[in-house]
Amino acid sequence: MRRAAGSTIFALAGLLVVLAGCSEIGITGRKQFNLIPDSIINSMSLQQYGQFISGSKVSADVQKTAMVKRVGSKIVQAVEEYSQKNLSANPFAGYQWEFNLVEDPNVNAFAMPGGKVVVYTGLLPVAKSETGLAVVVGHEIAHVFARHGSERMTQGLLVQMGGIAVSEALKTQPDATKNLFMTSYGMGTQIGLLLPYSRLHESEADRLGLVFMAMAGYDPHEAVIFWQRMAEQSKGKSRPPEILSTHPADETRIRNLENLIPEAMGYYKAAGAQGQTPKP
């Protein structure tokens, strides 16, 4: 009888932990389980970002750097306006935003908690315009808005480390925790149990990013055009099949974006269409 009572108390305690870690993502309404404190994830993010920037060459191109900062600032402002009107708290509270363009031929960009956004110069020829750049920056900032990295890290703690608290993991398994952080934020490669969640996150960030770029005054139709260019660029190149990729296949992503355009256009019209912006 005592054992049964103890099991019930343990189960209730576990349920309270789960409920305490649950939240709802704005716009999509998806329920999210996350046990990583923002203070810890932001501290780890700033450390990794500092190491990255110190080992990278920041672009000296004033015009292109200004464009990156302009796009990032407008999208952040749109997210904060949305949050003020629709959410109980600002998900970017306390963030100190930085937008950097680094000299790197890879077609890439990333955003990290704490407000650190990096665009690689290799992305600009594919983006072609400020609006094309907004497609990618909006997507990356959407990951931060939705706390996808923290959610992934929570899943990793449960699957790989038996659910121990992140503060304890940092003390007892610092290297493993650091690797988990890097994987959670797309800075590593992992194929396994967590892969489907990552594809879910990518699709959710596509939807959120489309809305955020529209709210910032950028035509969301450009997202479809941008990914069509990406699909053309990847033709004939070796790439993993969709089942082993953290990103949806180009065809899947384009189809999903086309379906999401009507929703995003509602935000675009409300923001006031500014049209296509000049090429960099």
**Active-site position among 206, 219, 222, 250:** 206
Reply yes or no on whether 206 is catalytic.
yes
- Establish if 182 belongs to a structural domain: yes
Query: What pLDDT band is residue 273 in, cutting at 50, 70 and 90?
Result: low
Asked if residues 126 and 230 have their Cβ atoms less than 8 Å apart, the reply is yes
For 217-236, the pLDDT digits (tens) are 999 999 999 999 988 887 76
- Establish if 188 belongs to a structural domain: yes
- Establish if 4 belongs to a structural domain: no
- Establish if 276 belongs to a structural domain: no
Range from 39-43, 161-165, 189-193, 248-252 carrying the lowest mean pLDDT: 189-193
Q: State the total domains in the chain.
A: 1
- Establish if 240 belongs to a structural domain: yes
Q: Report the distance separating Cα 71 and Cα 64, nearest Å.
A: 11
**Active-site position among 140, 202, 219, 222:** 140
Reply yes or no on whether 130 is catalytic.
no
**Which pLDDT does position 203 carry in this prediction?**
93
- Establish if 58 belongs to a structural domain: yes
- Mean pLDDT value across the chain: 80
Residue 13, both tokens: 């305690």
Query: What pLDDT band is residue 16 in, cutting at 50, 70 and 90?
Result: very low
Query: What pLDDT band is residue 45 in, cutting at 50, 70 and 90?
Result: confident
- Establish if 12 belongs to a structural domain: no
In which domain, by residue range, is 135 found? Answer: 23-271
Placement of tokens 């609006």 in the chain: 131
Buried b (16+ CB within 10 A) or exposed e, 245-274: ebbbbbeebbebbeebbeebbebbeebeee
Query: What pLDDT band is residue 266 in, cutting at 50, 70 and 90?
Result: very high
Nearest CA among 175, 31, 157, 51 for reference residue 112: 51
Nearest CA among 107, 78, 83, 71 for reference residue 25: 83
